């Protein structure tokens, strides 16, 4: 019998919990949530949401946690044996890749926000409401946000305002407002404030001009003013209506739709391939070699490190394998996400500082490195940034890449003689003495076998196909 482990992030909601056994994730619905669960399933809300691919579908299975005496089944988290009696056990459709708002571009956060509001409106039409509104309820699946918390629904009392309004503002609306006014990526805001940035902090970060914006004034500045006063007792007697809540969710929807204007100034990295690289032949030759390498190997998933606008991610996706495409430059990730290419999951990741394990006891959300391991890793025009820009020794880069790939690595080496590499050390006094293709091959040779090595015509750059030892 395999061990049962409760998910380390599944402790907040008393309605149930997620557990894993035999590598499969299940969700227990507790007895206390039976009425809400039945409403979700019988009101037609579940069917509506799953039909439109807004909510993760599940099947009901027999109880697993309490099926056998605790002694016969090792239980890793001690309180599992003391869990409330199950009402149902659900087997949700399994997701292969998880990502978090701390890794999403602003458009991904925007779409997750719009999904939350759409679900809230549909829920209200079926006599239910969302009792929480956090990006952790959402995962990206086939390029689209999908609501994964089946137990977030509660019975709707039209006389009450939305219990999750403040959480929605802090987790979605405020990061998007800061993005809109300051042109910074929302992933950094979500990383710093995983439970949402408070109205007080947002009000201080927004420029004066935002006070002239009715939406910002109502949801940020007014909320900050009202929230700072102690009026909790008076709130018990507030009378509300469905029409009022509908007008608020529609207002939020229109604000969020306008929250991600296209970046006015291109970032240093967008259009890197289309504009800044001189010579079309280089790119054509690189693509040609890349395609040849792909034909020589087999892989079921891929990870593109430093994907830029995703040119090579798109070539990888043509093979049908799912691709995680990462770059530290969020406007590039925004462009790639907007291109809506099937099979590509774009994420804002700085490889010199990838997402750490986070949440309580560092256990709720796994580190990027743990989630991203793939059959094939590609790192094109990247190593010189890590080695020369971030001063990371080549052997450490090789060690990290061997952690990320399960088998193959396609990697480009750009020597110091190259203009782009030269720019990186132009203001550094001593050029790195340990940076040339011999040193590169020695460093990577420790963890990888070099299968192919080809110069890219017209440049001093080299492309390699390697296999993990």
Partner 1 sequence: MTTLFLYIDPGSGSYLVQVIIAAVLGGAFWIKKFWRRIRSIFTRGKKEP
Q: Which residues of this protein are in contact with partner 1, per CB under 8 A?
A: 12-15, 32, 131-132, 160-167, 218-219, 222-223, 226-232, 234-235, 238, 240, 244-245, 247-248, 251
Q: Which runs of consecutive H residues, i.e. helices, occur in 265-393? A: 280-296, 311-318, 330-339, 368-372, 383-384
- Helices 174-182 and 106-125 cross at an angle (nearest 10°) of 150
Give Dmax over CA atoms of the chain in angstroms. Answer: 75
Rounded CA-CA distance 102/350 in Å is 11
In angstroms, what is the minimal distance from the CB of 225 to partner 1?
Answer: 8
Beta carbons within 10 angstroms of residue 175's beta carbon: 31
- Contact partners, residue 141, CB within 8 Å, separation at least 6: 95
CA torsion 54-60-66-67 (nearest 10°) is -150
255 vs 302, beta carbon nearer partner 1: 255
260 φ, ψ (degrees, to nearest 5): -120, 75
Q: Summarize the chain as % helix, strand, coil (round to 5).
A: 45, 20, 35
- For 133, the token pair is 């509104």
In angstroms, what is the minimal distance from the CB of 290 to partner 1?
Answer: 48
In angstroms, what is the minimal distance from the CB of 261 to partner 1?
Answer: 23
In angstroms, what is the minimal distance from the CB of 226 to partner 1?
Answer: 4
67 vs 218, beta carbon nearer partner 1: 218
14 vs 261, beta carbon nearer partner 1: 14
CB-based burial of residue 265 (10 Å sphere; 0-12 exposed, 13-18 middle, 19+ buried)? exposed
In angstroms, what is the minimal distance from the CB of 119 to partner 1?
Answer: 16
163 vs 392, beta carbon nearer partner 1: 163
Q: Which of 9, 72, 73 is nearest to 365 (CA)?
A: 9
In angstroms, what is the minimal distance from the CB of 316 to partner 1?
Answer: 40
15 vs 289, beta carbon nearer partner 1: 15
160 vs 420, beta carbon nearer partner 1: 160
156 vs 290, beta carbon nearer partner 1: 156
- For 130, the token pair is 């969302």
Q: Which of 219, 215, 189 is nearest to 101 (CA)?
A: 189
DSSP of 370-429:
HHH-EEEEEE-S-HHIIIIIS---HHHHHHHHHHHEEEEEEEEE--TTSHHHHHHHTTSS
DSSP of 193-204:
-TT---HHHHHH
In angstroms, what is the minimal distance from the CB of 397 to partner 1?
Answer: 42
Is residue 111 within 8 Å of 104, Cβ to Cβ?
Answer: no
In angstroms, what is the minimal distance from the CB of 33 to partner 1?
Answer: 9
Q: Which of 182, 177, 211 is nearest to 196 (CA)?
A: 177
In angstroms, what is the minimal distance from the CB of 155 to partner 1?
Answer: 11
168 vs 293, beta carbon nearer partner 1: 168
In angstroms, what is the minimal distance from the CB of 218 to partner 1?
Answer: 5
175 vs 354, beta carbon nearer partner 1: 175
- For 401, the token pair is 């890449």
14 vs 22, beta carbon nearer partner 1: 14
């Amino acid at each position: 019998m395999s061990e049962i482990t409760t998910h380390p992030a599944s402790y907040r909601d008393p309605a149930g919990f997620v557990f894993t056994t035999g590598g499969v994730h299940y969700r227990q619905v507790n007895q206390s949530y039976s009425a809400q669960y039945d409403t979700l399933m019988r009101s037609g809300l579940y069917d509506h949401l799953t039909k439109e691919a807004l909510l993760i579908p599940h099947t009901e299975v027999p109880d697993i946690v309490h099926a056998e005496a605790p002694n016969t089944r090792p239980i890793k988290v001690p309180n599992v044996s003391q869990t409330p009696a199950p009402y149902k056990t659900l087997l949700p459709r399994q997701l292969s890749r998880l990502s978090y708002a701390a890794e999403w571009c602003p458009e991904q956060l925007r779409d997750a926000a719009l999904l939350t509001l759409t679900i809230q409106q549909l829920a209200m039409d079926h006599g239910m409401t969302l009792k929480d509104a956090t990006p952790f309820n959402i995962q990206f699946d086939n390029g689209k946000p999908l609501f994964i918390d089946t137990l977030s629904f509660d019975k709707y009392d039209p006389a009450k305002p939305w219990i999750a309004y403040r959480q929605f503002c802090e987790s979605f609306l405020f990061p998007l407002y800061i993005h809109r006014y300051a042109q910074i990526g929302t992933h950094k805001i979500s990383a710093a404030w995983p439970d949402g940035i408070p109205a007080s902090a947002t009000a201080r970060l927004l420029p004066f001009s935002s006070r002239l914006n009715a939406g910002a004034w109502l949801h940020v500045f007014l909320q900050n003013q009202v929230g700072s006063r102690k009026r909790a007792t008076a709130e018990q007697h507030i009378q509300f209506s469905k029409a009022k809540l509908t007008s608020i969710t529609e207002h939020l929807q229109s604000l969020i739709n306008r929250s991600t204007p296209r970046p006015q100034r291109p970032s240093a990295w967008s259009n890197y391939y289309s504009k800044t690289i001189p010579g079309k032949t280089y790119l054509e030759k690189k693509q040609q070699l890349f395609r040849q390498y792909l034909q020589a190997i087999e892989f079921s998933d891929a990870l593109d490190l430093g994907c830029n606008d995703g040119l090579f991610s798109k070539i990888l996706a043509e093979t049908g394998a799912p691709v995680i495409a990462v770059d530290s430059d969020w406007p590039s990730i925004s462009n790639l996400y907007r291109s809506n290419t099937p099979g590509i999951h774009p994420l804002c990741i700085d490889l010199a500082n990838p997402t750490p394990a986070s949440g309580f006891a560092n256990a709720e959300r796994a580190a990027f490195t743990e989630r991203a391991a793939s059959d094939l890793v590609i790192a094109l025009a990247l190593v010189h940034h890590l080695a020369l820009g971030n001063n990371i020794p080549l052997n450490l880069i090789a060690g990290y890449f061997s952690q990320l790939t399960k088998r193959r690595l396609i990697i480009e080496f750009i020597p110091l003689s190259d203009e782009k590499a030269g720019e990186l050390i132009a203001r550094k006094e001593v050029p790195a003495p340990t940076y040339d293709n011999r040193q590169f091959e020695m460093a990577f040779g420790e963890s990888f076998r070099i299968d192919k090595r080809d110069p890219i015509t017209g440049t001093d750059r080299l492309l390699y196909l390697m296999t993990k030892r």
